[in-house]
């Protein structure tokens, strides 16, 4: 289980599900640059999409290693944030054909000695920041379950490494209670290929400076927050094969199993978590 190499014959799927509600207008910091949470999440998502495209490129050819969906939910709707708004999953080779031109970005980076230096890099603006309306989280999760059921049921995908869903939010659902969210999340993790069940990783962005909880184990106690406990129950148990990668990212000393959950995560931590998508799959 969770061992199928990724090839153009056995591709996998990634879903990035974003809370695009009004609360994402709040300010956060990415590499010491102040910006809205929506801008920060768009930036780290664009990093991941660039990384996935690079990993699928062999010479001048982009191989069809995975299908990608980037979905946003807000104001009583769920929509695709890349390419055709009516088309959720897009093969990486087709996504490459509509890739936007890279833009040069600059970030100030603080070095180990306390000095600051400017770093320039290129980044494609795959998605734009959005922050408007309520938080229909249940609707977003339900839509994700539907498209994953369709993807997993296709004969050409049934022997593939199972999909990975990254759900990024900073707030509470306005369309469901915690028990309802847990039930719909199980509709997502209940989808499967012959190589395992879909992995759901829930990421709650921080609202203020504080200690992050990254990939807690079943041995660790939660903080008693009802919504945090719901996110914990919604999240997948990380497969044993991925535990060393998770332990390195979260700097864990205690053993797994770990939950696919991050609480009070900073944008930089979100980027590290999203990188699991490109680092966890065995591309050949």
pLDDT tens figures, 62-75: 999 999 999 999 98
Share of the chain above pLDDT 70, in %: 90
Question: Is 5 inside any structural domain?
Answer: no
Question: Is 108 inside any structural domain?
Answer: no
Helix (H) / strand (E) element for 92: namely: helix 92-97
Could you tell me the pTM of the whole model? 0.91
Count of domains in the chain?
Answer: 1
Please give the residue range of the domain that contains residue 181. 12-100+127-279
Measured from the Cβ of residue 268, the count of other Cβ atoms closer than 10 Å reads 14
Question: Is 114 inside any structural domain?
Answer: no
Q: Which two tokens stand for residue 176?
A: 């469901």
Question: Is 73 inside any structural domain?
Answer: yes
Residue 168: CATH number of its domain: 3.40.50.410
Written as one string, the DSSP assignment of 219-266 is TS-----HHHHHHHHHSPBPPGGGHHHHHHHHT--S---BBSEEEEE-
pLDDT tens figures, 194-227: 999 999 999 998 766 667 888 888 766 556 678 8
């Amino acid at each position: 289980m969770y061992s199928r190499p990724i090839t153009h014959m056995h591709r996998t799927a990634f879903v990035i599900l974003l809370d695009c509600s009004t609360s994402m207008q709040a300010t956060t910091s990415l590499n010491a640059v102040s910006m809205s949470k929506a801008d920060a999440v768009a930036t780290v998502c664009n990093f991941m999409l660039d990384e996935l495209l690079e990993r699928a490129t062999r010479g001048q050819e982009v191989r069809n290693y995975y299908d990608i969906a980037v979905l946003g939910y807000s104001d009583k709707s769920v929509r695709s944030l890349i390419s055709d708004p009516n088309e959720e999953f897009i093969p990486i080779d087709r996504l490459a054909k509509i890739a936007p031109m890279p833009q040069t970005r600059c970030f100030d980076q603080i070095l180990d000695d306390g000095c600051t230096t400017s770093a320039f890099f290129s980044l494609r603006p795959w998605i734009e920041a959005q922050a408007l309306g309520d938080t229909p989280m249940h609707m977003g999760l339900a839509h994700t379950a539907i498209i994953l059921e369709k993807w997993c049921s296709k004969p050409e995908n049934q022997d593939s490494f199972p999909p990975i869903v990254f759900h990024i939010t900073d707030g509470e659902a306005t369309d469901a209670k915690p028990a309802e969210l847990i039930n719909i999340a199980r509709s997502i993790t209940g989808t499967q290929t012959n190589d395992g069940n879909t992995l759901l990783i829930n990421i709650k962005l921080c609202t203020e400076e504080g200690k992050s909880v990254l990939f807690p184990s079943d041995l660790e106690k939660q903080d008693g927050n009802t919504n945090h406990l719901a996110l914990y129950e919604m999240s997948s148990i990380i497969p044993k094969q991925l535990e060393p990668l998770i332990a390195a990212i979260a700097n864990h000393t205690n053993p797994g199993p770990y939950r696919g959950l991050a609480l009070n995560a900073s944008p930089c931590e979100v980027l590290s978590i999203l990188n699991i998508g490109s680092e966890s799959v065995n591309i050949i």
